[in-house]
């Protein structure tokens, strides 16, 4: 165990695969007790089992972040089991159905925003309430490079990721006097099952995604997780309301 988060309690949503799984593993490596949440029980259980196999402490909790009762129960369970909640990574998200603005069905729009935006709002609502009661904490929301630039064909995804940044900044300012820090990470194209499923739609899609990354290299989930853990640690004690780009230089061009 690295010890950067010794004795802390960390909650990760979307922990069943990809960036969420890497984040949960990194929190545990740094000494945190982890609650790995996902609506995919098989993936979430596998993440918790991997942490325990590495000598860490973790349990899986099923949660659909679009349901407030699920989110409230998740935070309450973490506190009931561990006494507090110090760190949270609100990572659950979906790419959603592709489609231009004039083509996308209302139901597809609603479904994407329900997970990507309302889900983050609900997590923040209950996490912040607990952290204010206990005297502090740190939260990281997963946005995207698509949160600062348009992505033709993914209007709902891009809109939701833009909105996360505004929500992050607002929550940070509202809680700066309560010792609760709120930041966001904006990953570039990262080699996850979600991205792979999107690239599989057509060879041209994968080609375009790889071309958007300097050098053509996709990021690794573990590289995003390192940024998340740092933002939740005391080493980032003066960082709040920030949007950290972890994208291999994709937005520097």
The catalytic residues are 157
Radius of gyration of the chain (CA): 17
The DSSP symbol for 190 reads B
What distance in Å separates the CA atoms of residue 78 and residue 84, rounded to the nearest whole number?
7
Q: How close are the terminal C-alpha atoms of the chain, in Å? A: 37
As separate numbers, helices (DSSP H) first and strands (DSSP E) second, the chain gives: 9, 7
What distance in Å separates the CA atoms of residue 33 and residue 50, rounded to the nearest whole number?
13
106: burial class by Cβ within 10 Å (0-12, 13-18, 19+)?
exposed
């Amino acid at each position: 165990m690295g010890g950067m988060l010794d004795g802390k309690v960390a909650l990760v949503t979307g922990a069943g695969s990809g960036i969420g799984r890497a984040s949960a593993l990194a929190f545990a490596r740094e000494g945190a007790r982890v609650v790995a949440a996902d609506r995919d029980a098989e993936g979430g259980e596998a993440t918790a089992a991997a942490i325990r196999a590495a000598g860490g402490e973790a349990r899986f909790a099923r949660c659909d972040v679009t349901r407030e009762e699920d989110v409230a129960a998740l935070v309450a369970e973490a506190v009931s089991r561990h006494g507090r909640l110090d760190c949270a990574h609100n990572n659950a998200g979906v790419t959603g159905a592709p489609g231009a603005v004039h083509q996308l069905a209302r139901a597809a729009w609603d479904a994407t925003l329900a997970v990507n935006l309302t889900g983050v709002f609900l997590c923040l609502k209950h996490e912040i309430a607990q952290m204010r009661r206990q005297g502090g904490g740190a939260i990281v929301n997963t946005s995207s490079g698509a949160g600062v630039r348009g992505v033709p064909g993914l209007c709902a995804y891009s809109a939701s990721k833009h909105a996360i940044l505004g929500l992050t900044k607002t929550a940070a300012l509202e809680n700066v006097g309560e010792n609760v820090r709120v930041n966001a990470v904006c990953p570039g194209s990262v080699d996850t099952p979600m991205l792979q499923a999107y690239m599989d739609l057509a060879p041209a899609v994968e080609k375009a995604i790889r071309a958007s990354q300097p050098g053509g290299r996709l990021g690794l989930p573990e590289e995003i997780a390192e940024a998340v853990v740092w933002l939740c640690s005391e080493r980032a004690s003066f960082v709040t309301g920030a949007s950290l780009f972890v994208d291999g230089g994709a937005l520097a061009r």
